[in-house]
Amino acid sequence: MADLQNISGGKAELQPEAITDIGVLASKKEPPAGYYIVAQTTDGFDANLWKDSIFKSKVTRYLCFTRAATSKNKQLCNVVVDVKLIDLKDCLPEGFTPIQDTTDTQEQALRKERLCVKLVPRHCADMAICNMVVQGKSKHSLTNYTFIGELNGLGIWYQLGKVIKSQDTVLKTSSTAGVAR
């Protein structure tokens, strides 16, 4: 398992590259190539975003993201600059794209909410999202992270970082995937 950052231990030594795509997975077993899965909360619990409080549900949903080129973002031209969690009935914020289906199985991504992302060209962005975490039972604020919202008792947070615009650095983005904590 690859740790993206130890958020409890203060500052990270190296700032991760900007995120180029965010998705929701139905299974944490086989992530798409180049994607990191947020499989555990910051306090070590399962980060399943689809919890059914009445019955033991077999449905699971996990947040995932990549810093590599994707079929939607072939040459790393775009970076994610904002993420919102909105009610299904709310209007889509201008400039945002909803994540409606899971990346792996094309099933409904979330139940009552929509996760929406805003992509902008890399050359137009000074800051972009470089890390995402899911917070479990502990409800303290995460230093240098922005709270998106709560989904089934789990808090979703992101961290902004400077966008690296040099093509040489962009091409060195690792395409290896792991499981984020």
pLDDT of residue 3: 38
**CB burial of residue 10 (10 Å; 0-12, 13-18, 19+):** exposed
Q: Which of 138, 152, 110 is nearest to 23 (CA)?
A: 110
pLDDT of residue 93: 96
pLDDT of residue 84: 97
pLDDT of residue 73: 66
pLDDT of residue 169: 45
What is the rounded distance in angstroms from the CA atom of residue 84 to the CA atom of residue 78? 17
What is the rounded distance in angstroms from the CA atom of residue 61 to the CA atom of residue 102? 8
Domain boundaries, the chain: 21-166
pLDDT of residue 69: 73
Residue 158 neighbours by CB under 8 Å, 6+ apart: 83, 129, 131, 132, 133, 145, 146, 148
pLDDT of residue 146: 96
pTM over 0.85: no
pLDDT of residue 47: 95
Local structure of 169: helix, strand or coil: helix
What is the rounded distance in angstroms from the CA atom of residue 153 to the CA atom of residue 115? 15
What is the rounded distance in angstroms from the CA atom of residue 178 to the CA atom of residue 24? 15
Q: Going from the first residue of the chain to its last (181 residues), give the mean pLDDT of each consecutive group of 10, the final group possibly shorter.
A: 40 74 93 93 93 73 90 76 96 96 95 95 95 89 93 94 69 48 48
Fold of 21-166: Vitelline Membrane Outer Layer Protein I, subunit A (2.100.10)
